Chain A
Amino acid sequence: MDLFDILISASFWAAAIRIASPLIFATMGELVCERAGVLNLGIEGIMVAGAFAGWIAVWAGLPLWGGVAVAFAVGMALGGVHGILSVPFGLSQHVVGIGMTLLATSLTFYTYRVVLPEVSSPPKIEAFQAFEIPFLSKIPVLGPALFAQTPLTYAAFVLVIVTSLVLYRTPLGLAVRAAGENPSAVAAQGLSVTAIRIGAVMVGSGFMAVGGAFLTMSAFDSFFFDMVNGRGWICIALVVFGAWKPGKALLGAILFAAFDAFQIRLQQTPIGAVVPYQVFLMMPYLLSILALVVMSRRAEVPAALMVPFNKGER
C-alpha cells in the first residue's frame, strides 16, 4: 500500500479516532486537575484501575453504561485520596502521584487475582458496538471515521465540549481556573481553594478512569495487565502540548493517534520489513518528548500549578 493511500483511507482515520478516544478522556481529566493547580501523576494507575473496574462490573452483570459509571466512581475515589494528600496537606504532588499510580496499579492486580484466581486468559465481555449515525456516516472518509464509532467515542467528544464550556463559561469553571492561577484571589472571594481543588482532582480522575475503561469496554473486550502501557504519561504530555486548553488538547490527541495509526500501517509496508518493529513502537513516546520540548517554551502553565495553598501564609 502506498503511504498516501494510507492517509486518505477511511479505515485509517477511523482507527485514529478510536486510538484517540481513551487519550481524550484522560487528557481532559488531567487538564481539569492541572487547571485547578494539581499535577496528577496518579493518571497511569487510575487508568489501569478504571480499565479493570468497568470491565469487571460488566462481567459481573452490570449494563455497559453501569460499568462506565463504576469506572468513574473508582476514579473519583482514587482522586479523592490524591486530593486529600496533595491539597490540604500540600504533600509533593510528584511523590503523591507516583505513589497513587503504584497503589492503584497494585490494588487492581491484587483484586484481579482475588476475583479471578486460576484463570489462564481473562474472560471477555460484550463490549460497546459501533453505532452508525444515519446519513452522517455515509460521508466519504469523514463519515466512517467520525460517525461510525462506539458510543463511548462520541462521549469523549461531548466531554471536550462540556469541559470547555464549563471551564470558560460558568462561575464554577472560573473558580477552577482561578484556583490554578491565583488561589489567594479565590480565597478572598470567600471560596474554599481546598474544596475546589479536591473536587477538580476527583472529577478529573473520574475522566481518567473512564479513559482506561474505554480500553476494556470499547477498544477491546477484556483486561490485560499491561494494557494502559504508558498512555497516562502520554496524556500528561498532551496537556502540555495543548497549552492547557481543551480544544487544542483534543487536536493534539487526534494528531498523536493519527501518527500511532500511521506507524501501525507503516509496519505492513516495505519500510516495515527493513526497520525493526521496536522503532515503530518507540515513535509515540519519542513524539511525546518532542512535543514537550517544542511546546514548553510557549506554553502558558497555570501559575499556581504544583504550588500548595496554605491559607494565612501570604
Chain B
Amino acid sequence: MRLEPIANPTLPRRTLPPALALIATFAVAALLVMIAGGNPADVFGLIFKGAFGSKFALLETLNRATPLIFTGLAIAVAFRAKLWNIGAEAQLYAGAVVTVVLGTGALPLPAPILLPLIAVAAMAAGALVLFIPALMKTRFGVDEVVTTLLFNFIFLLFVSYLLEGPLKDPMGMGWPKSARLVPEARLPRIIEGLRLHWGFGLALISAAVIWVIDAKTTLGFEMRAVGQNAEAARFAGIPVTKVILKTAVLSGGLAALAGFSEVAGLKGSLTLDLSPGYGYTGIVVAMLALLHPAGVVVAALFVAAIFVGADSMSRAAGVPSYIADIMLATALLLMVLAILLTKFRVRRD
C-alpha cells in the first residue's frame, strides 16, 4: 500500500475518520466490558453519571481535569517543536516539591505575594528538570525520550528520599508525607462553598496564554517552524538550539504548575502518590487535542470525565477501572491514525 496526499480534503474526509476513531474506541471498550461480564450500555451510562451526574461529580471532574490541562499544555508545547518531553511526571513533582519547600512557613508573606512567588519558583524548578535533557539533546544528540523517561524514575526516588528525610512531616505519625502548607500558601476556592480551587482558573489562563504565544509571537512561530523542519528552520536563520531550549523551559514550567496546583489547591501537602500518572496522561490529552491549547482544555475535560466516571462505575458495576486507561490508549492510537487519513488516501500498489 501507498499513501497519497489529498489536495483538497472534502468535509466528510476531514470529519469522518476522527468520528470513526471515537466510535471504534467505544466499540473496543464495549467488547472488553462484555468479556468482564458487564453490560456495555450500563457501564457507559454509569461512567457518564459518575462524571457529570451530580454537582459533586461535575466538580470532581473539573478538579481532575486541572492537572491534566497543565500537563497537556506542557506536552502540546513541546511536541509542537518536536521536543519529545515524556518527563512531565518528574516536572510535576519538581513543582510540588518547591511548593512544599516555600509554602510550609519558610516565607512569612501575605498570600497575594506568596502565591505568585511560589508559582514562579515551581515553574523554574520544572523548567530546570526538562532543561537538562534538552541540553543533552542539543549538545550531545541524546534522544530526549529516553532521558526524560529515566528522569521520571530518578525524580520520584528523589521525592521519596525527601519525604522520608528533610521534608518529612514530624507530626506525620511516620508516614512519608510533607508538612501541611500554611493558609497563605493555599490556592483559594473560586466560589466559596464549592470544592473547586483557583488552580482550575490558572489552568484556563495558562491555556489562553499559550494560545496567544502560539498565534501572536515570534517564539510561537519559531517553535512551529523548528517542529515542522529543523533543517529548513536553521537555513531560514532561526536559532534552532535556542528555540528548543526555550520550548523546554516553557514546557517544564507548565508541567510544574500541575504539581503546584495539586499541592496548593487540592491536597495541601505532598505525598508520593500525588500524581497517578498525570504526566503520562498529558500525552494522551495533548494528542487528542491535536496539540492545540484550546483543544487541550476540551480533551482534559473528556479524559478527566472518563477517569472520574470509571472510578465510580467500577465501584458500582465491578468492571475494573483500568477500562479508562485502555479507552484512552486506544483513542490515542486510533486518533493519530484518523488524523493521517484526513490528509492522505490509501492506495494499493
Contacts and interface: CB of A to CB of B under 8 A. Distances in A.
Interface of A: 41, 81, 85, 88-92, 94-96, 98-100, 102-103, 105-107, 109-110, 113-114, 117, 194, 229-230, 233-234, 236-237, 240, 276, 278-279, 281-282, 285-286, 288-289, 292-293, 296-297, 310-312
Given A278-B158, A297-B141, A312-B2, A99 B333 contact: yes
10 contacts: A85-B337, A92-B336, A94-B84, A103-B333, A107-B326, A236-B146, A289-B142, A292-B136, A292-B142, A292-B147
Contacts, number: 124
A102 B280 CA distance: 9
Contacts of B284: 102
A313 to B, nearest CB: 9
Given A85-B337, A95-B336, A106 B325 contact: yes
A165 B83 CA distance: 37
B194 interface: no
Contacts of A106: 322, 325-326, 328-329
B333 A276 contact: no
Interface in B23-60: 32, 35-36
A113 to B, nearest CB: 4
Interface in B1-33: 1-3, 32
A91 B32 contact: no
B3 A103 contact: no
Interface in B121-170: 136, 140-143, 145-147, 149-151, 153-154, 157-158, 160-161, 164-165
Interface of B: 1-3, 32, 35-36, 84, 86, 136, 140-143, 145-147, 149-151, 153-154, 157-158, 160-161, 164-165, 280, 283-284, 287, 318, 320, 322-323, 325-326, 328-330, 332-333, 336-337, 340, 349
Nearest to B3: A310
A45 to B, nearest CB: 9
Contacts of A98: 86, 280, 283
A134 B3 CA distance: 58
Contact of B3 (A90, A233, A276): A90
Closest 3 CB pairs of A and B: A106-B325, A113-B320, A103-B329
Contact of B329 (A89, A99, A296): A99
Contact of B149 (A95, A229, A230): A230
Given A91-B337, A102-B284, A106-B325, A282 B154 contact: yes
Contacts of B141: 296-297
A278 B10 CA distance: 56
B228 to A, nearest CB: 13
Contacts of A233: 146, 149-150, 153
A285 B349 CA distance: 45
B150 A230 contact: yes
A194 B1 CA distance: 9
A281 B158 CA distance: 10
Contact of A100 (B36, B86, B146, B333): B333
B153 A292 contact: no
B2 A102 contact: no
Nearest to B161: A278
Contacts of B332: 95, 99, 102
Contacts of A94: 84, 145
A311 B349 CA distance: 9
A89 B161 contact: no
A299 to B, nearest CB: 9
A240 B140 CA distance: 13
B36 to A, nearest CB: 5
Contacts of B340: 89-91
A99 B334 CA distance: 10
A105 B336 CA distance: 19
Contacts of A236: 146
A109 B320 contact: yes
Given A81-B333, A96-B336, 17 more contacts: A41-B145, A90-B3, A94-B84, A95-B283, A95-B336, A98-B86, A98-B280, A99-B333, A107-B326, A110-B323, A114-B320, A230-B150, A230-B153, A279-B161, A286-B154, A288-B146, A297-B141
Contacts of B140: 293, 296-297
A89 B146 contact: no
Contacts of A289: 136, 142, 147, 150-151
Contacts of B84: 94
A267 to B, nearest CB: 14
A179 B249 CA distance: 37
B348 to A, nearest CB: 11
A88 B330 CA distance: 19
Nearest to B327: A106
A94 B141 CA distance: 16
A253 to B, nearest CB: 16
A114 B35 contact: yes
Nearest to B328: A102
Contacts of B147: 289, 292
A230 B157 CA distance: 13
